[in-house]
Amino acid sequence: MEVQEAIRKRRSVRKYLDKPLPWEYIGRVLDAARLAPSSGNIQNWKFIVVTDPSRRKKIAEACLQQRWMEVAPVHIVVCAEPKKAIQFYGIRGDRLYSIQNCAAAIENMLLTATDMDIGACWIGAFDEGMLKSAASIQEEARPQAVVTLGYYAEYPKEPVHYTIENVAFMQRWGSRIADIDAVMGNYGNKLQRHIANAQEIANVKKQKLSDQIKNKIKEQIDKRKQARDEKEFFGPTK
Ligand SMILES: Cc1cc2nc3c(=O)[nH]c(=O)nc-3n(C[C@H](O)[C@H](O)[C@H](O)COP(=O)(O)O)c2cc1C
Q: Ligand 1: which atom is nearest the Cα of residue 125?
A: 8
The answer, yes or no, to whether any atom of ligand 1 lies below 6 A from the CB of 68, is no
Looking at residue 156, the DSSP 8-state letter turns out to be P
**Separation between Cα atoms, residue 155 and residue 170, nearest integer Å:** 35
3-161: CATH architecture: 3-Layer(aba) Sandwich (3.40)
Q: Which of 11, 29, 139 is nearest to 74 (CA)?
A: 29
Amino acid making up residue 89: Y
Q: How many CB atoms lie within 10 A of CB 31?
A: 12
The answer, yes or no, to whether any atom of ligand 1 lies below 6 A from the CB of 84, is no
- Determine the distance separating the centroid of ligand 1 and the alpha carbon of 220, expressed in angstroms: 77
**Separation between Cα atoms, residue 158 and residue 171, nearest integer Å:** 30
Residues 193-234: pLDDT tens digits? 888 889 999 999 999 999 999 999 999 999 999 988 888 888
Residues 7-52: pLDDT tens digits? 999 999 999 999 999 999 999 999 999 999 999 999 999 999 999 9
Least confident of 23-37, 100-114, 117-131, 202-216: 202-216
Q: What percent of the chain stands above pLDDT 70?
A: 99
- Determine the distance separating the centroid of ligand 1 and the alpha carbon of 30, expressed in angstroms: 20
Residue ranges per structural domain of the chain: 3-161, 180-234
| pTM, 2 dp | 0.82
> Can you tell me whether residue 137 is helix, strand or coil?
coil
